[in-house]
């Protein structure tokens, strides 16, 4: 059954509009960003002397095809990837609020 925009509550119309605007923005990534601290393997490097001196790297952890995947994020991409992960979380939040609004409609019986 297709609902017309006239049959939607003001809250639902606002959420659909917000979702549409968010989807028009480029870039979104589902996953978790994790900062890793690692040794490079070079014998004389500072990273072998103290855990605080280990090299920082950023990775994106995602579930893909039922498996956990880790993707290295180069430093120049960090800000962009962080924004895309945050954008996905915002879209997911709006979708959740839309689902709850639809659930309330079902509970009311129409």
pLDDT digits (tens, 9 = 90+) for 21-38: 999 999 999 999 999 988
CB 45 within 8 A of CB 39: yes
Tokens matching residue 32: 């978790």
Strands (E), 1-110: 32-38, 55-64, 67-73
Full-model pTM:
0.78
DSSP state letter for 3: P
Neighbours of 42 (CB within 10 A): 9
- Mean pLDDT for each 10-residue chunk of the chain (110 residues)? 68 93 94 91 83 89 94 96 96 95 84
Q: Which of 31, 38, 14 is nearest to 89 (CA)?
A: 31
CB 63 within 8 A of CB 80: no
């Amino acid at each position: 059954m297709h609902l017309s925009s006239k049959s939607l509550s003001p809250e639902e119309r606002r959420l659909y509009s917000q979702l549409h605007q968010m989807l028009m923005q480029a870039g979104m990534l589902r996953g978790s960003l994790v900062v890793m601290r690692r040794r490079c393997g070079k014998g004389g490097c500072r990273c072998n002397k103290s855990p605080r001196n280990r090299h920082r790297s950023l990775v994106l952890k995602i579930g893909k095809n039922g498996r956990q995947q880790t993707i290295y994020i180069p430093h120049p991409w960090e800000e962009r990837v962080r924004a895309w992960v945050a954008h996905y979380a915002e879209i997911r939040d709006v979708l959740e609020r839309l689902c709850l609004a639809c659930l309330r409609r079902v509970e009311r019986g129409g």
